[in-house]
Amino acid sequence: MEIKRIKMTKLFEILFPKYIWRIKTSEKKIYLTFDDGPIPEVTEWVLAELKKFGAKATFFCVGENIENNPAVFEKIIKSGHAIGNHTYNHLKGWETDDESYLNNFSFCQYAIEKNNLSHSLLFRPPYGRIKKSQAKEILKSHKIVMWSVLTKDYDVKFSPEECLKRTINKTKPGSIVLFHDSLKAEKNMKYVLPNFLKHFYDLGYEFEVIN
């Protein structure tokens, strides 16, 4: 099962070479990403945890959440983290026509730029699902960032301990690790993140933004 999954990740990298799956480095660097915020209940907590370890991360924000929580969004930027576009309404690309999808992508970009002077040129498709025709347009301006380690923090089938163990086991230099600053993932994430940070910090790793 484990071998199969590794092969699948490799397969995705071969099938979709234009997307970023990991950062090629042998240095002790990890690229943390947080999807679906910003929301005050969870994002503020994440920022405080990252700060304890001097860790920087990339937040793939939902436009609607930026509009509803501009102060939290601003706090992410002021803390030196990077921002990415995650559509305005968290759309599934496979089930959405191209025009609606690209408009939704643009609405999110507008929300980001309205609140943030620097341009964000990163995009992550919700659920990792995007049609090639949609990606082709977005790639004209943005990098499409996927992930190499899925924490499954949202998955209630995993206990927080299991979630931590599998996340640590899969992480290596250059890994892009996917967490969620969402209510759904809160329980596992709040256990996994501080323990994950401590584990790799003690091994001499640094946590950097994707750019």
Which residues are at the interface with Zn ion (CB under 5 A)?
35-36, 126
Residue type, 74: E
Residue 195's Cβ-count burial label (10 Å; 0-12, 13-18, 19+) is middle
Q: Least distance to Zn ion from the beta carbon of 26, Å?
A: 30
Residue type, 57: A
d(CA 189, CA 44): 13
Q: Least distance to Zn ion from the beta carbon of 62, Å?
A: 7
- Whether 60 contacts 84, CB under 8 Å: yes
Q: Least distance to Zn ion from the beta carbon of 126, Å?
A: 4
Residue at token pair 């370890």: 53
Q: Least distance to Zn ion from the beta carbon of 130, Å?
A: 12
Nearer to Zn ion, 63 or 207 (CB): 63
Nearer to Zn ion, 101 or 205 (CB): 101
d(CA 100, CA 144): 18
End-to-end CA distance of the chain: 33
Residue type, 93: G
- Whether 56 contacts 33, CB under 8 Å: no
Nearer to Zn ion, 120 or 200 (CB): 120
Q: Least distance to Zn ion from the beta carbon of 154, Å?
A: 9
Nearer to Zn ion, 88 or 200 (CB): 88
Nearer to Zn ion, 33 or 167 (CB): 33
Q: Least distance to Zn ion from the beta carbon of 127, Å?
A: 7
> Between helices 160-170 and 186-202, what is the axis angle to 10°?
40
Nearer to Zn ion, 84 or 126 (CB): 126
